[in-house]
Amino acid sequence: MITIKNIYDLAIKMGIESDLRGKDFVLKQLKKTKEKYQKLPKEKKEEFDKEKLTNPYSDSRVFASNSDKKVNKIMAGIDIDTAELLLAKYLNDSSGKKIDLVLGHHPLGRALNDIHGVMHLQADILAQYGVPINIAESVMRPRINEIARGVFQMANYDRTVQAAGLLGFPLMCLHTPVDNLVANFLDKMIKKEEPETVGEVLKLLNSIPEYKQAIPKKAGPQIVAGRKEARVGKITLDFTGGTNGAKEIFEHSSRAGIGTVVAMHMREEWRKEAEKHHINVIICGDTQSDSIGMNLFLDELEKKGVEIIPCSGLIRVKRFKKQ
């Protein structure tokens, strides 16, 4: 039998193992965080977010009064709000579903307020693709500060967490760990197939079940900069690290030999900047891409006997066969 804490710990473990920077890199960063914490004065230690000593992804959290609660059934979706929590209560009351945990992908509560805490990941990955780390960090820093200043001011960040508490539902949001899973999945696929043109990359993406199901709904992957016949050059994946980075990075990415960016989503201003610097862009869609990462994680839970009830845009695809 698996508990809420077991599920959370598994998610963090899988996120670290799938991190494009490599497991050793992430563990080294965690070690530095622990060393920094040990050097803090007592009053600062009391203020320190101790979750960061074991979880390197500040946009993922569990909100539960009893983390040792056994879990048999989960309602899982991309965006969880009060409506999804009320749906869970309705299912419990009317059909005896007995949902033990509501799991969402996008960050909630303090995880939303701390989404900027994972954005440095983007600079690390860009450095792996050839952008000098000093430039990547310098370009990303103003964007990270912008997100840090902006989220808590405008978002009703704790609404869903409060609703979950009132309804008696344990709640969890897994953001970067799930994004790492889909980024790693696509990275391996692209490296294995070695597509030479943008059209070949698009064809490869369209073969993935979650994207294939989105195509009839006019939500499949699309080329938004460049053309099918264009050669890809160096391909980068923009699927993890909180939210969109700095648009100024495309100039430096182009100089580093990056020819194609495959991303979940991209604002028009960002797309124009990529096009200006001759970078091809394929957009795959947020919910569709998130579903891939969620499915890779949910498969592991199903293997352990947990029943999954999909909701809120999750395109449930299983990649394993029950014994």
Is 133 a member of any domain? yes
- Residue 322's pLDDT band (boundaries 50, 70, 90)? low
CA–CA dist 238, 252 (Å, integer):
15
Number of domains in the chain: 2
Do 246 and 301 lie in one domain? The reply is no
Domain holding 203, by residue range, is 182-287
Is 229 a member of any domain? yes
| Percent of the chain with pLDDT strictly greater than 90 | 94
- Residue 320's pLDDT band (boundaries 50, 70, 90)? confident
- pLDDT at residue 323 above 70? no
Helix 286-303 to helix 176-193 angle, to the nearest 10 degrees? 100
Question: Which two three-digit tokens encode residue 42?
Answer: 């007592």
First to last CA, the chain: 18
CA–CA dist 52, 120 (Å, integer):
15
Do 74 and 212 lie in one domain? The reply is no
Do 36 and 99 lie in one domain? The reply is yes
Beta strands per DSSP E along the chain: 2-3, 61-63, 70-71, 73-77, 101-104, 171-173, 222-225, 234-238, 258-263, 280-283, 307-311
Choose among 168, 167, 6: nearest CA to 71.
Answer: 6
pLDDT at res. 151: 78
Region of residue 155 (left: phi > 0; alpha: psi -120 to 50; beta: else):
beta
Give the chain's largest Cα–Cα span: 61
Do 212 and 149 lie in one domain? The reply is no
CA–CA dist 58, 275 (Å, integer):
32
Question: pLDDT tens for residues 233-291?
Answer: 999 999 999 999 999 999 999 999 999 999 999 999 999 999 999 999 999 999 999 99
pLDDT at res. 97: 79
Do 164 and 204 lie in one domain? The reply is no
Do 131 and 199 lie in one domain? The reply is no
- pLDDT at residue 10 above 80? yes
Do 152 and 220 lie in one domain? The reply is no
CB atoms within 10 A of CB 268: 8
pTM of the model as a whole: 0.96
pLDDT at res. 204: 98
Q: What integer is the mean pLDDT of 291-301?
A: 98
Question: pLDDT tens for residues 61-100?
Answer: 999 989 999 999 999 999 999 999 999 999 999 987 799 9
Is 227 a member of any domain? yes
Q: What integer is the mean pLDDT of 29-39?
A: 96
Do 10 and 128 lie in one domain? The reply is yes
The CATH number of the domain holding residue 230 is: 3.40.1390.30
Is 320 a member of any domain? no
| Percent of the chain with pLDDT strictly greater than 70 | 99
Is 322 a member of any domain? no
pLDDT at res. 321: 73
Q: What DSSP designation does 1 have?
A: -
Is 318 a member of any domain? no
Q: What integer is the mean pLDDT of 195-221?
A: 97
Q: What integer is the mean pLDDT of 1-11?
A: 96
Do 223 and 127 lie in one domain? The reply is no
Do 266 and 127 lie in one domain? The reply is no
In this predicted model, which residue has the larger pLDDT, 96 or 38?
38
Is 28 a member of any domain? yes
Do 35 and 171 lie in one domain? The reply is yes
Is 10 a member of any domain? yes
Do 150 and 208 lie in one domain? The reply is no
